[in-house]
Copies of this chain bind each other. A is one copy, B any other.
Amino acid sequence: MTLAQTHPLHAHGTHSSRLIRALRGERPETTPVWFMRQAGRSLPEYRALRVGTKMLDSCFDPAMASEITMQPVRRHKTDAGIFFSDIVVPLKAVGVDVRIEPGRGPVFNAPFAAAADIAKLTAIDPAIMDELGEPIWEGVRRTVAMLLEHGGSDGVAATPLIGFAGAPFTLAAYLVEGGPSKDHLGARALMHTDPAAWEALMTWTAEVTGRFLRGQVLAGASAAQLFDSWAGSLSARDYETHVMPASRQALTHVRDLTYVIPADSDGTPATERAVPTIHFGVGTGELLPLMHDIGVDAIGVDYRITLDEAERRLGGGVVLQGNLDPAMLAAPPAVLEAAVADVLQSGKSAPAHIFNLGHGVPPGTDPAVLTRIVELVHAAQ
């Protein structure tokens, strides 16, 4: 691990933003809110910008990726931007041949299912990303500059950017299947049929995704979220034995990165803190304590269990993010308002709560509903 590197953006004030304060376990007067997949197909300005550009090309175009990241921040006045990317971007950023098929998802030319294929894949040195990832880092730098100009949602701080990376298991699930699958059986079987090949794949993937996250933080992201989208397909035992070590390993790449809370006029000296991390997966109610134990500051909770039940399972004292069911987004206003109030109430069980959906924004969402939710959360006491 390198020496601690102090984070540049915090000099601009995100250390006092609602999001970063909540991630420190403080309770800002107003609950911060953002939405997973807020940048994307629910926004007409996104669909207009993307015409004629393929998904992965847009991720590697710094002007486009930064503009797309900014769109929901401007429109909804969310308390954070989430860097526009895709789960397979870090793989492309080390030279793996992958494309995204509309309506299907990431597809590789051939699955990495056999030990020989995995050996070829893991022969790629993940360090190559530091160079090949330059369009991503530039996208982050531009976004951070735009967010600074945009200002903070509370009129004081700059709006923080959250870096995005898929967790090793979720990446491995795509790699082993060669594309999307329903229950990730190929990956889940490989860990039992060939544990050595599986471990090699996970170790490599952890390096790739860890470097991807580190690059975003070094370029100015104020926090980092690890998305283990498919972890919910695992039993707790398989998660703990065959997945958790790699997720922990991925996070070591950002653990030495810190930011500074400046000295206060009342004499409180400046303090240095690690850049905060969030961990989320779909349908992971059974795995929350393990997902927390990889060493993160906050746990994202899917809509299936309530936040107070999540807090109970975590043993208390853990910052939570979540968890309005996306199925509520088209409900009549009174039903939606009651659901938002329920989530806010349940979130009071945690030391701090970051409001979000319990899953990504569905593409068909009416963006006005998201704007309304931000208003509701910000108006709540």
A-side residues, CB < 8 A to B, are: 183, 185, 188-189, 191-193, 232-236, 238, 283, 285-286, 303-306, 325-332, 335, 359, 362
Contact = CB atoms under 8 A, between A and B. Distances in A.
A304 B329 contact: no
A235 B286 contact: no
Nearest to A191: B327
A359 B286 contact: no
State the 4 A-B residue pairs at the shortest beta-carbon distance, nearest first. Answer: A188-B327, A192-B331, A189-B327, A193-B330
A335 B330 CA distance: 47
A331 B286 contact: no
B235 A189 contact: no
Contacts of A327: 185, 188-189, 191-192, 238
Contact of A362 (B185, B191, B305): B185
A235 B325 contact: yes
A233 B286 CA distance: 14
Q: Give chain A's interface secondary structure class.
A: loop
A193 B325 CA distance: 13
Which of A235, A236, A285, A305: most chain B CB closer than 10 A? A235
A169 to B, nearest CB: 13
A87 to B, nearest CB: 15
A329 B329 CA distance: 40
A303 B192 contact: no
A304 B325 CA distance: 22
Contact of A235 (B185, B191, B304, B332): B304
A332 B335 CA distance: 52
A303 B193 contact: no
Given A185-B326, A185-B327, A283-B283, A235 B192 contact: no
Contacts of A305: 235-236, 286
Nearest to A339: B192
Contact of A283 (B185, B193, B232, B326): B232
Which of A189, A191, A303, A362: most chain B CB closer than 10 A? A189
Contact of A304 (B189, B234, B304): B234
A342 to B, nearest CB: 9
Given A193-B331, A305-B286, A188 B235 contact: no
Nearest to A189: B327
A335 B185 CA distance: 17
Given A304-B235, A325-B188, A332 B193 contact: yes
A37 to B, nearest CB: 13
Contact of A285 (B183, B285, B303): B285
Contacts of A183: 359
Which of A234, A304, A335: most chain B CB closer than 10 A? A304
B189 A330 contact: yes
10 contacts: A185-B362, A188-B325, A188-B327, A193-B330, A193-B332, A235-B306, A235-B325, A236-B304, A286-B304, A286-B305
Contacts of A188: 325, 327
